[in-house]
Structure 1
Amino acid sequence: MSDRPAISLPGVGLLPDDSAVEALIRAEHGDPFSILGPHPDRDGLIIRAYLPNALGVDVLERDTGNRICAMDQAQAPGLYFCRLDIAQPYLLHIRWATGEQITEDPYSYGELLGEMDLYLFAEGNHRDLGRCLGAQVVTLGDVEGVRFAVWAPNARRVSVVGAFNGWDGRRHPMRLRHPSGVWEIFIPRLQPGEPYKFELLGQDGVLPLKADPMALSTETPPSTASIVAAPLRHDWQDREWMEQRGQRQAVSAPLSIYELHAASWRREGGDEGRLYNWRELAERLIPYVQEMGFTHIELLPIMEHPFGGSWGYQPLSQFAPSGRFGTPQDFAAFVDACHGAGIGVILDWVPAHFPTDPHGLARFDGTALYEYENPLEGFHQDWETYIYNLGRTEVHGFMIASALHWLKDFHIDALRVDAVASMLYRDYSRKQGEWVPNRFGGRENLEAIDFLRHLNDVVNVEAPGALVIAEESTAWPGVSKPTSEGGLGFDYKWNMGWMHDSLKYIEEDSINRRYHHDKLTFGLLYAFSERFVLPISHDEVVHGKRSLIDKMPGDRWQKFANLRAYLSFMWTHPGKKLLFMGCEFGQWREWSHDRELDWYLTKYADHQGVQRLVSDLNRLYREQPALHERDCDAEGFQWLIGDDSGNSVYAWLRWSLAGEPLLVVANFTPVPRHGYRIGVPRGGNWQELFNSDAECYAGSNLGNSGTILAESIDSHGEKQSLSLNLPPLGVLILRPA
């Protein structure tokens, strides 16, 4: 074994000056690479390493592992140095009280991130940040390890800490890349699975340890560390789905969405039992969704969030699936399994705001980095969260990259963008004097508008066939119009007006509905001004609003009949469909995120009836072109009866692209209507396809015996008409036989 002596006597440049050493010891040095690691010295090499609590350090030959020399201690305990007379690759052999470690020197590596990466990040156009910043498992030369990179332009010093260095911020201070504000370091031989955080020295002192904004995996709450994730290497089997996705999700295709909260759909052992991981959930959820006939599932946000009671709407890790349900690989397998079963996957995604947890994005480097500095711009009073400063290019690009991460890396089929209204208006939920106008003196948030348009344009290019859906509750014009036409560029907008009006109507006692008849007709005045999704979402069955079945008036029989009629009205109304879990079988209790749905109810006939009705509605919606092809086209809808408030009866036609009609008739009173005449555009027999009052749905089974012959009697502007029996609190669907 070679044992060349190190030159241990201080010489010119051999040791750093005392002030630099003091700064290093106090973990205040902003450029540790200027002191540590290898530094050329004539023909040799000066090596310095700061390893607090090390018992001793040797330098080994990189190729052979032979010992070159022992390092001496410099001015302070833990600071080691030596000089090699020949510059050569080397290893550090470190002796700790807990054992020995052989590793490459992290400070022997040059700059890590390319200039183009840094340029695109600063410009807000880096579309693959999930593989750039954060913790990346990489191989440099022939050395495996982890490259850490984090944006903290106003920090005086940033270190990566974890169990691998005793959570000691003095061990791995990082290199600052000017002018981007990104700090970086490569830690050799570190493996996936290691928890880590960043320790930052702000202008006013050391900040709370921060989780990685770009983390690809996290500890399970209440633990808050990020985890070094292995590269996602799922063997995708959904090529056929991805190739056909654009056609499956075209505006003329059926879109029926089952919205669910992964932690409370089902649990092992029932009610408050263990959460299923993604693979276990897939085994149970996918057959159910297939049986119910939904085309898509929509997951409440599954990005890591510290507080389960936020339902995911206060996420801190915009690139990491929650550790509550397994690994990123598990989530990829879940999406793949859904696609294999012909089910699309939609994620709720939150670019509007983030929580104030000290380990998160809040004042990340000691300054308002991700949020606005002014609380009149940067703090949501309703949710007590911070608002993303989307006018800052790095934040703008961070969120664009997050969207693409889910769409491209996890094959997600659509993003439903939460709280768009709060993003569009600077005075959202604020009183006069509590908001800051834009540069023109207006209330519009121009930076957020630019972001949303950019988001939708980028998704169209980078994830063809994927959808972006807006939860937007105001009358903002052109939400689903192309950006080239001055719109925001979304594919769909949630129709919150329809939801509020129709629920208000159905909650009225049937005897009073005649006075609220316009609640069901008004929505058709604007139904085709946007591409709409009709949402009965989680927000409508919590916080004292009561469950959907419990909103219904009347005795038990009438409640179920009303629910069946309401869902039938929804499925036959223009617009795509969304229904929150539990509504499909009439759960009585309000939804709680802390327990599973009340599945025991599905043993009872009336609950089974609602469940079968939803399944049949989904089947008809998929099979009958008139119910989906022209959901967003005014030519696909025709009123026949919209003014019979005295009987609370409505009738309309839905038209397919081929000109084939479906007749829908709704009676929203518990009074049967016999011989009710309705004009139709075709003669001959009409077939009763569906009756929400059928016995199989636990109804009274009043109907029209399958087929009805049209008569040559003028009615409602048509030359032919049908004399129908309208069931109580029932909806009929008929077509020419």
Structure 2
Amino acid sequence: MADGALIHRLETGTLSDPYALLGPHTDRAETIIRAFKPAADRVDVIKRKGRKPVLELTRVTDSGLFEGRIKTSALNGAYDLITHYGDTPHRAADPYAFAPNIGGLDLHLLTEGRHRHLYRVLGAQIMDRDDVSGTRFALWAPSATGVSVVGDFNGWNAVQHPMATRGGSGIWEVFIPGVADGAAYKYVIRDQSGTTGPYKADPVGFGAEIRPNSASVVRALPARHWGDSDWMQSRAPKQRRDAPISIYEVHLSSWQRDAPHCFLSYRDIAERLIPYVQNLGFTHIELMPITEHPFDGSWGYQPIGLFAPTARFGTPSDFRAFIDAFHQAGIGVLLDWVPAHFPSDEHGLAQFDGTHLYEHADPKQGFHPDWNTLIFNFGRQEVVNYLISNARFWLEEYHLDGLRVDAVASMLYRDYSREDGEWIPNADGGNQNWEAVAFLQAMNRDAYLSLDGIMTVAEESTAWPGVSQPTDNNGLGFGYKWNMGWMNDTLEYMSEDPINRRYHHHKMTFGIDYAFSENYILPLSHDEVVHGKGSLIAKMPGDEWQKFANLRAYYGFMWAHPGKKLLFMGCEFGQTGEWRADDQLSWDQAGRAPHKGVATLVGDLNAGYRATPALHELDFDPSGFEWVEGGAQADNVIAFLRWDAAKQSPLLCVCNFSPVPRHDYKLGVPMAGTWTEVLNTDAAHYGGSGVGNLGARHTVADPRHGQPHSLPVNLPPLATVWFSPKS
């Protein structure tokens, strides 16, 4: 009979070494086999390739421990268990006949928090062991006194499949034969007092159930054939600072639906979205978070399954196919990534092993007052490693081209959205969160050094220095930063009645004062068209014609301004209603004037942007920008030159943010001759009045604005016009 203390710990779920009790135990001539099957009526032992049982185990405890002895020579190798539940037999290999197999190096790296491929060890790994297919479960729970796996495969029995702890590593593991792709599971974790908390989803689970269910799902991550090799080999120059980058931001749940409460699949979305993005000329899409999240209303910004693409739209294989299709179409895919906070749902990371394992224990550091969420403990190396490995996972396993990191400012400052007394200063008495700084730097270093051609983007809303500067120069190491200041200022200006714009002229020009301090992306994102802010078109003053003219003029200014571009879905056709995450875009508007004209303009802006080196080659170099007229506030006119790297083919952008057309308005230019009107947002086919320059204008010998020549141009009302010298 087995040791009573071990049996008690097995029954109470606190047996940290189940192999000491369960499975085969050979003592010279005899082998003792023990199996724990609480719901079984009978358990037989059969040779792996046998047809008839060689041993019937005896129930030795009411709780379901079965035991039997057999001559080792009679068993002669591997065996299976036939478990009888009434008249239904179930045959499978004995989980406890397979010793733990996570290697010493992996355990060492996990313990030190230096395993950048953590997801290849932890989680539910489908594998074959000794020609037996199954799944190895492994997780980190250093303060647990017992961990077991529950799922469809064991009737969600909390003690049937105890896991084994691996020394002092805090890693627990067990291999369960027969568990395959699609099986739902959770972990039962007992804290230091032996108390069972809420069943936990897998922190490294590759799949998840559809909400409101909350279990993880075993999902294979096969090395399937990718069809995007051409893209992967050529993407690096397409994402450099001198490249044209124009991003279409998408919320997959609400871009398009076939029925009010039915999501499209990843594959269906790709089939529809790819030609749409191609037609508009965007170089990239940016997905609002698709990591698994329990609450639709969080839009994905409160993730639970950081390693799982949401099951709302399909499986991990479906998501891979989605990305593959975009790459084959020549479109990059960026993902919104959220390491700043996570929800406190009981099945998630909160108090994972009975302690504040992933989050800070003190709410002054571990709780976000803005979002009622928890904050990762960036001072704990294992947590930092978990997050960095997660970033690598998406870039490496899913071929994503970059990560846009949400809410960076909330990580950088200990007093973010906190009053005095509600935050803890750093060791120097300041408000900087140096642990978070170190994490972001480490994440960016790992990404850029390990993965060719990727990009990282920071949504950072303050003046923290060096966000997009290299880490060896004390920067945070991001490739790009959202220019929130430009967005706020210019939208405030555009919302003003033109008669008042002269008093706010600086809001359109001030951005140049700091435009080259970071590698900026100009964002008109989802945040600007929700929570009562209204749509972009609704922000514009005037009647309907003026609203659309203003929006078109604004887009013309934006696409000519230094910085890469980002536009949220629906804004490309001037959707009139505020974005609703629970419904699709107003596609009934998209095909009608004047909305269709806006979409046509966006397509032409992207085409011109990509084809004109002056609009992207020197985005982050002051020599690529030159004011022509920045002080004509009384006229509501702005004019500037953009230069290419060769300094041979400039583009002149002129904006008239007044409803008054201006004829023969003279502007200084550096080259004599004919300047072609290459874009006019007032063109009739965009929905404008058709005021223009008959295709081109010619310079006159009248030096102005520090330039040797003048170009007299016609400025349409509420419009932006681009000119290029004829070669």
Output the amino acid matched with 2:531.
H
CA distance in 2, matches of 1:605, 1:526: 38
| 2:558 aligned partner | 570
Per-residue deviation, 1:189: 1.7
Q: Which residue of 2 aligns with 1:33?
A: 19
The aligned counterpart of 2:681 is 692
Q: Aligned residues: percent identity? A: 54
Q: In the alignment, does 2:88 pair up with 1:99?
A: yes
Taking the TM superposition and a 5 Å limit, the aligned residue runs for 1:531-546 are 531-546=519-534
Q: Which amino acid aligns with 1:276?
A: L
Residue 354 of structure 1 aligns to a residue in which SS?
coil
Assess if the C-alpha contact under 8 Å between 1:376 and 1:434 holds in 2.
yes
Match of 1:680 in 2: 669
Cα distance, 1:273 vs. partner?
A: 4.4
Equivalent residue in structure 2 for 1:426, among 410, 414, 426:
414
- What does residue 217 of structure 1 align with? 207
Secondary structure of residue in 1 paired with 2:252: coil
Of 469, 478, 496, which residue of structure 2 is paired with 1:481?
469
The reply to whether residue 155 of structure 1 matches residue 144 of structure 2 is: yes
What is the DSSP-based 3-state SS (H/G/I as helix, E as strand, rest coil) of the residue aligned with 2:237? Answer: helix
Query: 1:206 is paired with a residue of what secondary structure?
Result: coil
- Cα pair 2:19 2:99 within 8 Å, conserved: no
Shift of 1:392: 1.2
Q: Deviations over 1:145-173 (max 9, x none)?
A: 10000111111111100111010011101
2:260 matched to 1:275?
A: no
Give the Cα–Cα distance (whole angstroms) in 1 for the partners of residues 87 and 370 of structure 2. 50
- Does the 8 Å contact 1:232/1:328 carry over to 2? no
1:309-349 CA distances to partner (integer Å, 9 max, x unpaired)?
A: 10000011111100000111111111111011110000000
Hey, what does 2:705 align to over in structure 1? 716
Counterpart of 2:672 in structure 1: which amino acid? Answer: G
Amino acid in structure 2 at the alignment position of 1:482: P
Partner SS for 1:653: strand
Distance 1:171 1:680 in 2: 80
1:4 is aligned to none
Distance 2:222 2:429 in 1: 47
Report deviation, 1:69: 1.6
Q: Which amino acid aligns with 1:403?
A: A
Contact 1:304 1:318 in 2 (8 A): yes
**For 1:451, what is the secondary structure of its paired residue?**
helix
Counterpart position of 1:167: 156
Q: Which AA in structure 1 matches 2:13?
A: A
Q: Which amino acid aligns with 2:281?
A: G
Structure 1 residue 128, shift from structure 2 partner: 1.7
Which AA in structure 2 matches 1:48? R
Please name the residue that 2:65 is paired with: 79
CA deviations on 1:643-679 (whole Å, 9 max, x unpaired) are 1111111100000011121101101110111121101
CA distance in 1, matches of 2:87, 2:548: 68
Deviation of 1:65 after TM superposition, in Å, equals 4.2
Match of 2:48 among 59, 62, 69: 62
Q: Deviations over 1:465-504 (max 9, x none)?
A: 0000000001000001101111111000000000010011
Q: TM-score normalised to the size of structure 2?
A: 0.98
Pair 1:627 & 2:652 matched: no
Distance 2:297 2:694 in 1: 50
Question: How many angstroms does 1:602 deviate by?
Answer: 1.9
Counterparts of 1:337 and 1:696, CA distance in 2: 32
Is the aligned partner of 1:263 residue 2:258?
A: no
* Deviation of the 1:77 alpha carbon: 4.2
| C-alpha distance 166-608 of structure 1, shift in aligned 2 (>3 A) | same
Partner of 2:635: 647
CA–CA distance in structure 1, aligned partners of residues 697 and 163 of structure 2 = 79
Report if aligned partners of 2:26, 2:72 keep a CA contact under 8 Å in 1. no
Aligned residues: 721
Q: Are 1:725 and 2:725 matched, yes or no?
A: no
Unpaired runs of 5+ residues, structure 1, are 1-14
Give the 5 Å matches for 1:338-737: 338-659=326-647, 660-737=649-726
User: 1:98 Cα shift?
Assistant: 5.8
TM-score, normalization: structure 1?
Answer: 0.96
Question: Residue type matched to 2:229 in 1?
Answer: R
CA contact (8 A) 1:234 1:333 kept: no
Matched position secondary structure for 2:588: helix
Shift of 1:45: 1.8
How far residue 123 of structure 1 moved from its aligned partner, in angstroms, is 2.1
Work out whether residues 155 and 200 of structure 1, in 8 Å CA contact, stay in contact via their aligned partners in 2.
yes
2:514 partner amino acid: Y
- Give the corresponding residue for 1:10: none
Which region of structure 1 is more displaced relative to structure 2, 596-605 or 544-553?
Answer: 596-605
2:3 matched residue in structure 1: 17
SS at match of 2:208: coil
Residue 186 of structure 2 corresponds to 197
1:232 to partner: Cα distance? 2.8
Aligned partner of 2:547: which letter?
A: K
Residue 110 (structure 1) shift: 1.3
Partner Cα distance (2:641, 2:221) in 1: 52
CA distance in 1, matches of 2:468, 2:14: 51
Out of 99, 114, 133, the residue aligned to residue 122 of structure 2 is 133
CA distance in 2, matches of 1:295, 1:123: 40
- The range that moved more, 321-330 or 66-75, is 66-75
| Structure 2 unmatched runs, 5+ | none
Q: Is the Cα–Cα contact under 8 Å of residues 214 and 294 in structure 2 kept in the other structure? A: yes
Corresponding letter in the other structure for 2:608:
L
Alpha-carbon displacement from aligned partner over 1:92-130 (angstroms, at most 9, x marks no partner): 121112611122111111122111111112222212222
Aligned-residue offset at 1:30: 2.9
Check whether the contact 1:210–1:364 (CA below 8 A) recurs between aligned residues. yes
In 1, the alpha carbon distance for the partners of 2:287 and 2:41 equals 52
Q: 2 CA distance for matches of 1:98 and 1:266?
A: 50
Q: Secondary structure of the residue that 1:72 maps to in structure 2?
A: strand
Task: Indicate conservation of the 8 Å contact 1:528/1:632, yes or no.
Answer: yes
- Is 1:230 aligned to 2:220, yes or no? yes
Is contact 1:148-1:186 (8 Å) kept? Answer: yes
Post-superposition Cα deviations, 1:61-101, rounded to whole Å, max 9, x if no partner, equal 23434422211122434111112232643221211126111
Displacement of 1:203:
2.7
Q: How does 1:283-294 map to 2 (within 5 A)?
A: 283-294=271-282
Instruction: Tell me the equivalent position of 1:121.
Output: 110
Question: 1:75, 1:304 → 2: CA distance?
Answer: 41
Structure 2: distance between partners of 1:30 and 1:249: 49
Distance 2:606 2:710 in 1: 28
Residue 110 of structure 1 pairs with residue 96 of structure 2? no
Task: Provide the C-alpha distance between the structure 1 equivalents of 2:111 and 2:685, rounded to a whole number of angstroms.
Answer: 61
Q: Distance in 2 between matches of 1:571 and 1:325?
A: 33
Whole-angstrom CA distance in 2 between matches of 1:75 and 1:732? 86
Equivalent residues of 2:14, 2:147 under 8 A apart? no
SS in structure 2 at match of 1:605: coil
